[in-house]
């Protein structure tokens, strides 16, 4: 399986940054080689992409946002948007474990919101 | 609001990555214990990022030892030296004008040297005491986050565990705060240059500073786009399969739609 089939985009997320941190720690302790760390990171690219797909049945929430588009940029098929004065609404369908209050709607106001989005057409498959 | 999905996603990812990497570790001749160490460090960092509450937090509530040790070392050192200043400094200062013999002058010269050094350290002490006001703000942030938890996860046991953990985490915040305030107090004049040098951050746990920089970048959403439309100055976004960091918490979503005007 070729590594390039998956975006490295999600490495910037918390779970990706913390993994890179942990790998860096092991590298600086000379417990693993950098090449191995790269392999692990591309494993991560594949696993997080697969886990975010709907059929993985993990991420089911929907999110809507509305705001003033401050800047937009499309480069190499990657959109980078900066939206200001955003209202973000989330309908959370995670009713497992806790009480069964089905969906919890929540609304957050954010001054500045940055979106980095890759083309879904080329992802994964 | 709940970010239960983010927690579940992250836990899945950790398990999957560790399991899928086992073969890669073997191929590189690295043993299982290193793989488990990777998992441990990863979980630790994730917990410290406080983007979500994880199941392993309940299993092993722990504070990073290096931070607390650093804080513990500082206070005894400073207080010991201030004691020496009180005793030796006072005695030396009174005696020097009386005695004029060479031998005495030499020995008192040493004492005054040490006084000169130590006089600056009580200033650090004062900075500590004034700086303690600021960490309380950090504490307040911590408690706010915990109340959010208790709202969402209504199981009482969880709340109890959260309270226990919150004690630990408040301690962590305090030590960090005093560290930062020490440095601020020492170099108020050079505020900006200190921030850039970030020696302070190096002294801290690097994960902490990472988390903070992540929050500063803040409100970042990583996802895929299905369609981006524009009609005149009106934009519509159809996004999916993303992770959003909002106000220091992570949320995952399957679909996102957005409208905005440019």
Residues of A in contact with B219 (CB under 8 A): 86, 110, 112-114
Q: Is B191 found in the same domain as B120?
A: yes
pLDDT of amino acid B155: 60
* pLDDT value of position B154: 56
Residues B82, B121: contact at Cβ < 8 Å?
yes
Residues 6+ apart with CB under 8 A from A59: A51, A52, B5, B9, B241, B252, B253, B254
Mutation target for A interface from B12, B35, B41: give the one with most A CBs within 10 A: B41
Same domain, B99 and B194: yes
The least confident of A76-85, B30-39, B49-58 is B49-58
pLDDT of residue B8: 86
- Over residues B122-147, the mean pLDDT reads 44
CB B220 within 8 A of CB B245: yes
Q: What does chain A come to in residues?
A: 125
Min Cα–Cα distance to chain B from A5, Å:
14
**B137 falls within a domain:** yes
**Residues B120 and B227 reside in one and the same domain:** no
- Mean pLDDT, chain A, rounded, equals 85
Percent of chain B residues past pLDDT 70, beyond the cut: 38
Indicate whether B176 belongs to any domain.
yes
Q: How many CB pairs under 8 A join A and B?
A: 233
Instruction: Count structural domains, chain B.
Output: 2
Alpha-carbon distance of B248 to B215, in angstroms, equals 6
CATH number at residue B231: 2.30.18.10
pLDDT on residue B149: 47
Structural domain harbouring B241 = 220-261
- Clarify whether residues B148 and B68 are in a common domain: yes
- Flag whether pLDDT at B129 surpasses 90: no
B101 lies in the same domain as B155:
yes
Distance from CA of B10 to the nearest CA of A (A): 7
pLDDT in tens, B184-231: 444 444 544 455 554 554 444 444 434 344 445 568 999 999 999 999
Say yes or no for a CB contact (<8 Å) between A79 and B244.
no
Confidence band of B140 (pLDDT split at 50, 70, 90): very low
Whether B221 and A115 have beta carbons less than 8 Å apart is answered as yes
Mutate to test the interface with A, among B3, B4, B49, B64 (most CBs of A within 10 A): B4
B54-91: pLDDT as tens digits: 877 765 544 444 333 333 344 444 444 444 444 444 34
Q: Are residues B77 and B199 in the same domain?
A: yes
* B254:A52 CB<8 A: yes
From the candidates A44, A49, A52, A122, which should be mutated to test the interface with B, based on the most B CB atoms within 10 A?
A52
Chain A residue numbers with beta carbons less than 8 Å from the beta carbon of B20 are: 43, 47
- Rounded Cα distance, B109 and B96, in Å: 9
Q: Closest-CA residue in chain A for B240?
A: A120
Reply yes or no on whether the pLDDT at B2 is more than 70: no
A125 contacts in chain B (CB < 8 Å) = none
The stretch B120-124 carries a mean pLDDT of 40
Taking Cα atoms as reference points, which of B34, B66, B43, B18 lies closest to residue B206? B66
Residue of A nearest to B257 (CA): A64
The domain A3-56: what is its CATH number? 1.10.287.190
**Greater pLDDT, A107 or B103:** A107
The residue that leads in pLDDT, A52 or B56, is A52
B225 and A33 in contact by Cβ < 8 A? Answer: no
Between B144 and B50, the higher pLDDT residue: B50
Task: Mark whether B213 and B242 lie in a shared domain.
Answer: no
Are B30 and A31 in contact (CB < 8 Å)?
yes
Chain A nearest C-alpha distance from B250 (Å): 8
Asked if pLDDT for residue A117 goes beyond 80, the answer is yes
pLDDT at B158: 63
Comparing alpha-carbon positions, the chain A residue that sits nearest to B34 is A31
Sketch the domain layout of chain A as residue ranges: 3-56, 62-120
Per-residue model confidence (pLDDT) at position A122: 73
For the cut 70, the answer to whether the pLDDT of residue B50 exceeds it is: yes
Q: Residue A16 pLDDT more than 90?
A: yes
The predicted model gives B15-22 an average pLDDT of 94
In a mutagenesis test of the A interface, which of B219, B247, B249, B261 is the best target, namely the one with the most A β-carbons within 10 Å? B219
Tell me what the mean pLDDT of segment A12-16 comes to: 93
Q: Which two tokens stand for residue B191?
A: 């505020």
Query: How does residue B240 score in pLDDT terms, banded at 50, 70 and 90?
Result: very high
Residue B28 lies in a domain: no
* Contacting residues for B78 by C-beta, under 8 A, at least 6 apart: B121, B124, B125, B128
User: What CATH number matches the domain at A62-120, 2.160.10.10, 3.40.718.10, 2.30.18.10, 3.40.190.10?
Assistant: 2.30.18.10
Least confident range of A59-68, B37-46, B122-131, B228-237: B122-131
Interchain proximity B41–A26, CB inside 8 Å = yes
Structure tokens belonging to residue A50: 């697969």
The tens digit of pLDDT for each residue in B171-185 reads 444 445 444 444 444
Same domain, B175 and B92: yes
Q: What is the chain B residue with the closest CA to A35?
A: B28
Residue B208: phi and psi, rounded to 5, are -60, -50
- For residue B226, the chain A residues in CB contact (below 8 A) are 120
């Amino acid at each position: 399986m070729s590594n390039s089939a998956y975006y490295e985009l999600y490495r910037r997320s918390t779970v990706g940054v913390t993994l890179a941190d942990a790998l860096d720690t092991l590298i600086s302790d000379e417990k693993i080689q950098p090449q191995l760390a790269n392999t692990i990171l591309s494993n991560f690219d594949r696993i997080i992409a697969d886990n975010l797909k709907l059929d993985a049945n993990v991420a089911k929430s929907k999110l809507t946002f509305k705001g003033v588009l401050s800047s937009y940029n499309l480069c190499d098929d990657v959109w980078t948007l900066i939206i200001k004065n955003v209202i973000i609404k989330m309908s959370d369908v995670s009713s497992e474990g806790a009480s069964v209050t089905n969906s919890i709607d929540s609304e957050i106001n954010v001054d500045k919101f940055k979106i980095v989005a890759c083309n879904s057409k080329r992802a994964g498959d | 609001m709940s970010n239960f999905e983010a927690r579940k996603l992250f836990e899945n990812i950790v398990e999957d990555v560790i399991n899928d990497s086992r073969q890669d570790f073997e191929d590189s001749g690295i043993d299982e214990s290193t793989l488990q160490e990777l998992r441990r460090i990863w979980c630790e960092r994730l917990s410290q990022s406080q983007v979500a509450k994880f199941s392993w937090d309940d299993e092993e509530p722990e504070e990073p030892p290096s931070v607390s040790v650093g804080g513990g070392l500082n206070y005894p050192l400073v207080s010991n030296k201030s004691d020496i200043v009180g005793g030796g400094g006072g005695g030396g200062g009174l005696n020097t004008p009386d005695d004029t013999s060479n031998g005495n002058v030499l020995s008192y010269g040493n004492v005054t040297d040490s006084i000169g050094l130590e006089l600056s350290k009580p200033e650090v002490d004062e900075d500590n005491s004034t700086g303690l006001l600021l960490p309380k703000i950090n504490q307040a942030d911590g408690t706010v986050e915990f109340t959010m938890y208790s709202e969402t996860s209504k199981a009482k046991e969880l709340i109890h565990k959260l309270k226990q953990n919150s004690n630990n985490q408040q301690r962590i915040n305090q030590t960090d705060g005093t560290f930062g305030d020490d440095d601020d107090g020492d170099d108020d004049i050079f505020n900006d240059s200190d921030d850039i040098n970030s020696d302070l951050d190096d002294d801290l746990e690097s994960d902490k500073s990472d988390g903070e920089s992540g929050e500063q970048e803040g409100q970042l959403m990583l996802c895929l786009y299905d369609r981006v439309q524009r009609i005149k100055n009106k934009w519509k976004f159809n996004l999916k399969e993303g992770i959003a960091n909002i106000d220091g918490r992570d949320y995952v979503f399957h679909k996102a739609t957005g409208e905005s005007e440019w």
